[in-house]
Amino acid sequence: MVGVQLSGGLGNQMFEYALCLKLKALGKEVKIDDFTCYGPGQRKKMLDVFGISYERLSREEYIGLTDSDLRLDQRIRRKLFGRRDLSYKEKSANYDPEVLTREPALLRGCFQSEKYFADIAGQVRAAFVFRNFRPDEGIRKLEERMRSCPSVSVHIRRGDYLDPKHSALYQGICTDAYYEAAMERMRRLVPGAVFFFFSNDPAWVKEKYRWPDFIPVEGHDEDAGYADLYLMSRCRHHILANSSFSWWGAWLNAAPSKKVIAPKRWLNVDPSGINGVKEACVDIYTEEMILL
């Protein structure tokens, strides 16, 4: 049996669930650990918008996989003979083929690469249909507008990315210069492009981007972020932030003619390993992406 740890927000959870689908396609029994990374009231059920159900890893199974039984005899055994922890963390921010071979195991990581599930992409798309989302009138009007023009989603992630504790990992990548270059490239690729802006800081976006072909989309909070993901996926083309959220917004658009622009650096490399990224993150990119 293989357990997969669920963590992070909606984009991260989608990568983790896509890995589960791949492991099942390989004939493995797969259960999801959806309790160790979330406290009471936190966002562990974000996949509900897709009508996804899954078999949960029990606490007893978790204890068995991690050899974390706190009973005295088990603590003495670990002291004498060592711990038999079967958890496995992906080796880097890139595709790690060993993830697909470990069994039994508790898999921990982000698994942010299409390489994990490219051969079952149809199954992944079938899973990520917004079954439990009923767009309101405002969202339906925006969707119709996106379909009727050369629409381009532009994701600008601020908020948590501006937090000093995340700055070493995320900042200095999706700069003003990146967005200006990306929009200029998109205008050349898509005549008449209309840019729909998505951000967790919509007030800042409204203040900065005021041109007629720039349309700010009213942001939804974390609990309803699926509405922004839904609308992103309805755009014809995409400019990404270094975020799994906008990655999925582009990937869910299955149109072969779509244009997708992404930052050529996804995460900041730190040879010291303090921020956990020791090598360039390259497997996040898909073949159609234009890197700037």
Give the confidence band of 222 by pLDDT, cuts at 50, 70, 90: low
User: With b meaning 16 or more CB within 10 Å and e meaning fewer, what string describes 146-166?
Assistant: beebbbbbbbbbeeebeeeee
Q: Residue 83 is encoded by which pair of tokens?
A: 């711990």
Phi, psi at 83, each rounded to 5°: -95, 135
pLDDT at 276: 65
Nearest to 179 by CA among 159, 163, 195: 195
pLDDT at 235: 98
First to last CA, the chain: 42
Q: Give me the count of residues in the chain.
A: 292
pLDDT at 277: 79
Q: Please check the confidence at residue 166 and state whether its pLDDT lies above 70.
A: no
The angle that helices 10-25 and 244-251 make with each other, rounded to 10 degrees, is 60
Q: To which residue do tokens 């007629």 refer? A: 212
Q: Please check the confidence at residue 172 and state whether its pLDDT lies above 60.
A: yes
User: Taking the mean position of all CA atoms in its chain, how far away is CA 99?
Assistant: 18
Give the confidence band of 39 by pLDDT, cuts at 50, 70, 90: confident
Cβ neighbours around 6 below 10 Å, total: 25
> How far is the C-alpha of 228 from the C-alpha of 139, rounded, in Å?
9
**Residue with the larger pLDDT of the pair 196 and 224:** 196
What are the beta bridge partners of residue 152? 195, 237
Q: To which residue do tokens 């909606």 refer? A: 10
User: With b meaning 16 or more CB within 10 Å and e meaning fewer, what string describes 88-105?
Assistant: bebeebbbbeebbebeeb
DSSP 115: G
Give the confidence band of 42 by pLDDT, cuts at 50, 70, 90: low
Give the confidence band of 43 by pLDDT, cuts at 50, 70, 90: low
Report the chain's mean pLDDT, rounded to a whole number: 91
Q: Is 87 helix (H, G, I), strand (E, B) or coil?
A: strand
Nearest to 249 by CA among 267, 224, 231: 231
Q: What is the pLDDT of residues 177-198, one digit of tens each?
A: 999 999 999 999 999 999 999 9
Check: CB of residue 237 under 8 Å from CB of residue 190.
yes
pLDDT at 159: 61
Mean pLDDT of the region 248-271:
94
> What sign does the dihedral 188-189-195-199 (CA atoms) show?
negative
Mean pLDDT of the region 155-182:
81
> What sign does the dihedral 265-169-200-212 (CA atoms) show?
negative
Domain covering 137-291 assigned CATH 3.40.50 in the classification:
yes
Q: Please check the confidence at residue 135 and state whether its pLDDT lies above 70.
A: yes
pLDDT at 163: 62
**Predicted structure pTM score:** 0.93
Check: CB of residue 131 under 8 Å from CB of residue 111.
no
Q: Please check the confidence at residue 136 and state whether its pLDDT lies above 90.
A: yes
Check: CB of residue 41 under 8 Å from CB of residue 220.
no
* Residues in Cβ contact with 13 at an 8 Å cutoff, skipping those fewer than 6 apart: 6, 7, 46, 47
Q: Please check the confidence at residue 61 and state whether its pLDDT lies above 70.
A: yes
Q: What is the pLDDT of residues 73-121, one digit of tens each?
A: 677 776 777 778 999 999 999 999 999 999 999 999 999 999 999 999 9
- Ordered by start, the domain boundaries in the chain are 2-127, 137-291
